[in-house]
Amino acid sequence: MKAGSNLERVLEAGHFAVTAELGPPKSADAKVIHDKAETLKGNCDAVNITDNQTAMVRMSSIAAGTIALQHGLDPVIQMTCRDRNRICMQSDLLGAYALGVRNVLCLSGDHQRFGNHPQAKNVYDVDSMQLIRMVKNMRDEKKFQCGEAIKVEPRFFIGAAANPFADPFEFRPIRLGKKVAAGADFAQTQLVYNVEKFINFMEIVRKMGIHEKIYILPGVGPIKSGKAAEMMATTVPGLEVPDEIVQRMKKAEDPKAEGISICLEIIDRVRQIPGVAGIHIMAIEWEKAVPDIVQRAGLLPRPVIEVVEEPQEPPAQKPA
């Protein structure tokens, strides 16, 4: 075990893993996290806590992750390179680990142009690849990026993002391979709607043997409406929604139900692709759909893996 997180244990045991996304609120309201955590509890092996997603100011992912921990969830803290330099990143990693967080997903981060503070200065001291390596070296070499030793090292299960739908396509598997070389343990992908393209991507990944070195969890997610489908298809760079899906969503009498049906069909298809280790459900601001999806996909109950060794740090206190 590298970190001993629930996600790592589930994947190591060879189970088909399910992760979900939990978006922190644009406020200081802890109740939002408590409610979402309760919804997701028992329906996934780990929850990704987004880090100021789309460059909108939201509650800190580490703080929200700590609240999720109180509910017995295994948080995957997302960390972007947009807002922190290497000093702050390492400091936050130490803090997150001390609070009981065991997974981190290393991301470049959406450019601030998309967010609610487009006039902000960005950082990008480190890129996502370099962040992966930094987290790995902290864990395995017990060293800070500068080379200094760490007495009690943070041991994270390291995640990376992959987008098979961005360009240049032929470089995408190579870039994932680079992330493996940098130290990534698992990868979560951009939302898969174009399953054919994802199958092609995985074929190259398998040829390169990458799937043997990293757990790959394709991103899936229900679309709420025809309008949302159209918007996703046309305005989100690096997201591909085939016209067939847009049309199905637009024609649907009950778009929400149709969105979930499409999602289930995609889960069914990606599960059959060799090298796929699980799924990552991104039901953005629609966490309530997750239990239904997981149940109908036949992915319940989630496995409970006994912890043989006690974690080094006691987990954060549970709520009264």
Partner 1 sequence: MIIAEQKTLEEIKQIVAGYNKLLVVGCGTCVTVCFAGGEKEVGILASELRMARQMDGQQLETVERTIQRQCEWEFVDQLKDAIEDCDAILSMGCGVGVQGLAERFPTKVVLPALNTKGMALTVQEGLWAERCAGCGNCVLDKFGGVCPIARCSKSLQNGPCGGSVNGKCEIDPEIDCGWQLVYDRMKAINMLDKLYEVQEIKDWSTARDGGPRRINREDLRL
Which residues contribute to the site for partner 1 (CB under 8 A)? 81-82, 86, 108-111, 113-114, 122, 124-130, 133-134, 145, 161-163, 165-168, 171, 174-175, 177-178, 181-182, 190, 237-238
- 3-class SS of residue 219: strand
Buried b / exposed e across 156-186, counting CB within 10 Å, b at 16+? Answer: bbbbbbbbbbeeeeeebbeebbebbebbbbb
Q: Which is nearer to partner 1, 61 or 190 (CB)?
A: 190
What minimum distance in Å lies between the beta carbon of 272 and partner 1? 25
Q: How many CB atoms lie within 10 A of CB 262?
A: 22
What minimum distance in Å lies between the beta carbon of 281 and partner 1? 18
What minimum distance in Å lies between the beta carbon of 36 and partner 1? 25
What minimum distance in Å lies between the beta carbon of 211 and partner 1? 18
DSSP H helical segments within the chain, as ranges? 6-12, 30-40, 61-70, 86-98, 128-136, 172-182, 195-207, 226-235, 243-251, 255-271, 289-296
Q: Which is nearer to partner 1, 34 or 86 (CB)?
A: 86
The first and second tokens of residue 24, run together, are: 């922190």
What minimum distance in Å lies between the beta carbon of 178 and partner 1? 5
What minimum distance in Å lies between the beta carbon of 163 and partner 1? 3
Q: Which is nearer to partner 1, 237 or 311 (CB)?
A: 237
Distance CA 110, CA 115 (A): 8
Please provide residue 193's backbone torsions phi and psi, each rounded to the nearest 5 degrees.
Answer: -120, -35
Distance CA 73, CA 287 (A): 14
**Contact, 290 vs 222, CB < 8 A?**
no
Q: Which is nearer to partner 1, 100 or 183 (CB)?
A: 183
* Inter-CA distances, 8 with 45, 83, 102, 216, Å: 9, 27, 9, 12
Q: Which is nearer to partner 1, 105 or 294 (CB)?
A: 105
Q: Which is nearer to partner 1, 183 or 278 (CB)?
A: 183
What minimum distance in Å lies between the beta carbon of 143 and partner 1? 13
DSSP state of 27: S
Q: Which is nearer to partner 1, 147 or 319 (CB)?
A: 147
What minimum distance in Å lies between the beta carbon of 161 and partner 1? 7
Enumerate the β-bridge partners of residue 19: 46, 280
Q: Which is nearer to partner 1, 208 or 264 (CB)?
A: 208
CA 104 to chain centre: 9
The first and second tokens of residue 209, run together, are: 């043997």
The first and second tokens of residue 141, run together, are: 């070499």
